[in-house]
Amino acid sequence: MKNGVVTHLASYVARKRGDVRDKESWALKDEQLALWEADRRVWSDEVPLNADLAASLPLIPVIDDRLVTATTDGHALYFDARFSATLDTASRRYLQAHLLWHCAFGYLLPDDPEHALWHLAWDHEINSLLLQQGYALPSSSVLFFAKVTRPANEVYDWLLTHPALEQELPTDRLWQECLTSPSSRHARRDADFRLGTVDRRLTESWRAHTRMLANDYRCTQHLPIPIAKRLRDL
């Protein structure tokens, strides 16, 4: 799962060397990148399964109005450095872990045009898992208490009759939502924000990778039994 890691990071370094026009932007991006990388080092001891998942996903800080918060295309994790700077440590670690598990579950490519519903269902299942890993979820996180621990496909069916979906707003963005260019000609666009190809081969590759890691951590304190059971069904 490490294909493309060197390419993404080399591109980031090369652009930084070649573009010195906006020193404040580069300083902010470097500052926030260091924090996200430090969070991964914490996981090496506290949540090693997440650290192993993260090893396949380079971190790319950007300043781009198409993104606003953070997203993943299964090849890298992209986050807007301006948004990241508003987060406290717990919220930042939660967001990175949330994006990791989008990849781990293969939750990158919606099964039908109702991608907004799938995003809510996916976020619910991922956040239920993060609770079991001990994360404190931000108050804005998507979580339906009537369906805690239920899989995304079941939650999706339930959401079809939900009376107030407009109140549910995911923090992260699906990669498809970042393809539309901002209408303003003054909008910020970052050359490092380059989404890759997302297809079934990629999502299946991630699921296979996650099953392998789950088997490695089976019967250890780092893989709670409910999570282990769910990953067997990937």
For 24-46, what is each residue's pLDDT tens digit? Answer: 899 999 999 999 999 999 999 99
Sequence-separated contacts (24+) of 207-216 with Cβ below 8 Å: 207/104, 207/105, 207/106, 207/234, 209/1, 209/53, 209/56, 209/104, 210/53, 210/104, 210/105, 210/106, 210/234, 213/49, 213/52, 213/53, 214/49, 216/52
HSE-up (13 A, CA, CB side) for residue 171:
26
172 pLDDT exceeds 50? yes
Q: What is the mean pLDDT of residues 216-227?
A: 88
The confidence score (pLDDT) of residue 5 equals 56
pLDDT surpassing 80 at residue 13: no
Q: Rounded to two decimals, what is the model's pTM?
A: 0.88
Work out the angle at residue 232's Cα, subtended by the Cα atoms of residues 142 and 94, and round it to the nearest 5 degrees.
30
The residue among 149, 192, 197 whose CA lies nearest residue 60 is 192
pLDDT in tens, 32-85: 999 999 999 999 999 999 999 999 999 999 999 999 999 999 999 999 999 999
Query: What percent of the chain has pLDDT above 90?
Result: 62
Q: Structurally, how many domains does the chain consist of?
A: 1
**68, two tokens:** 């606003």
Which structural domain, as residue segments, surrounds residue 201? 5-232
